[in-house]
Amino acid sequence: MLRRSLVATLAVLTAAAAAAPAAEPVMVVHHIPLPGSGPDGAPALPMAGRVATWAQRAGLALRWEAVPLKRSLQALQRNTEPLCVLGMFDTPERRRFARFSRPIHQEEQQVFLVARHAAAALRALPDARAAVLSPQLKLLVYDGVAYGATLDGWIAQRRPPPLRASASSAHPPTMLARSHADFTISVAGELREWQRRGEPHAQVLETVLLPGMPAPPRRHLACSMKVSPEWLRRFDAAVGAAPPPLTGGAQ
């Protein structure tokens, strides 16, 4: 009798385990190396804090890893393991090898960050497209970084091509101040932060916003195709329940 009872109990437990949804694995989330990461490896960025909160509410565990952007893009393209990358722009090219979450962050209005020696020439141009395409001014961009569909299209058309630098090691204030390049694409908040930290070359830089600059893009989690649609569905549901502040900017 006892044996039959144990067998019946085991059968019920086995059936319940089979019916229960499989636990989602701990998700590796890449972010570019930044100073001031938390004890769990999370970067000191507001959107990282929001991502951690949404994941917790969805019952999803994260593991943060600081990885240069170029290596993260290569990992997404290889698609050998489930992983996500923090704060990526959603572009048609990247949709060939990545799944994107709902928007998690609204970027500031992009501006041109220009060395003082080139500021007058940049301001004399009629619009933002003319600035990006200008052969008289040297444009600096980060290798592997997307700036949004419109700006990326202009950059691809530029002749001569822009100067490309590593996002993890380049120091734009120095490169611009020493005339390695004349201007780059950034946000005003980045220059303010450099000035707040006392970066020696930041004082000779200016921001310029020309007509026709695209609306601020939105950032997402970009996940490898190995990440299950169910994981993204649960994460997106948590984002939808407490969305970040967004405007009508481009995605």
* Tally of CB atoms within 10 A around 235: 26
**Averaged over 209-228, what is the pLDDT?**
96
Determine the pLDDT at residue 100: 98
CA–CA separation, 85 vs 223, rounded Å?
A: 6
pLDDT top residue among 15 and 132: 132
pLDDT tens string 79-91: 999 999 999 999 8
**Which structural domains are found in the chain, ordered by start?**
24-106+218-241 (3.40.190.10), 110-208 (3.40.190.10)
Using 50, 70 and 90 to split pLDDT, how confident is the model at 168?
low
CA–CA separation, 24 vs 61, rounded Å?
A: 8
Concatenated DSSP letters for 173-227? HHHHHTTS-SEEEEEHHHHHHHHHTT-TTGGGEEEE--TTPPPPPEEEEEEETTS
Sheet holding 139-142, edge to edge: 163-165, 139-142, 183-187, 110-115, 205-208
The torsion of the CA quartet 80, 82, 87, 89, rounded to 10 degrees, works out to 60
Determine the pLDDT at residue 247: 59
Determine the pLDDT at residue 73: 95
State the DSSP H helix or E strand holding residue 112, giving kind and residue range, or none if neither: strand 110-115
Measure CA 163 to chain center.
21
pLDDT tens string 135-145: 999 999 988 78
pLDDT top residue among 120 and 245: 120
pLDDT at 146 over 90: no
pTM beyond cutoff 0.75: no
The pLDDT > 70 percentage for the chain reads 87
Residue 38 · residue 44 · CB < 8 Å: yes
pLDDT at 157 over 80: yes
Residue 89 · residue 147 · CB < 8 Å: yes
The pLDDT > 90 percentage for the chain reads 64
Determine the pLDDT at residue 216: 87
Determine the pLDDT at residue 246: 77
pLDDT tens string 9-63: 444 444 443 444 456 689 999 998 887 777 788 898 899 999 999 999 999 999 9
Residue 129: name the closest of 162, 106, 163, 152 by CA.
152
Determine the pLDDT at residue 7: 42
pLDDT top residue among 12 and 125: 125
Tell me the residue type at 13.
L
